[in-house]
Structure 1
Amino acid sequence: MDKKNLATSSVQAAYQALSSSEKGLSTDEVQQRLTKYGPNVINTTKKESIIKTFLLNFTSLMALLLWVSGFIALFAGMLELGIAIWLVNVINGLFSFWQQYRASQATSALQKMLPNYARVLRNGKIENTLVENIVPGDVVQIKSGDNIPADGRLLQADSMQVNQSSLTGESTTVNKDSATLTADEVKTAGQIWFMKELL
Structure 2
Amino acid sequence: MSQPENLDDNYKRAYDNRIGFGERPALLLIDFVQAYFERDCPLYAGVEDALASALRLQAVARETGVPVIYTNVVYRPGGIDGGRFFQKVKVLENFVEGSPMGAWPEGLEVGDDELVISKQYPSAFFGTSLGSTLTAMGIDTLIHTGLSTSGCVRATCVDSCSHGFIPIIVRDAVGDRHPDPHNANLFDMDAKYGDVVSEAEVIAYMKNRQGQN
Fold conserved between structures, TM > 0.5: no
Q: TM-score, normalised by structure 2?
A: 0.25
Q: TM-score, normalised by structure 1?
A: 0.26
- Highest CA radius of gyration, 1 or 2? 1
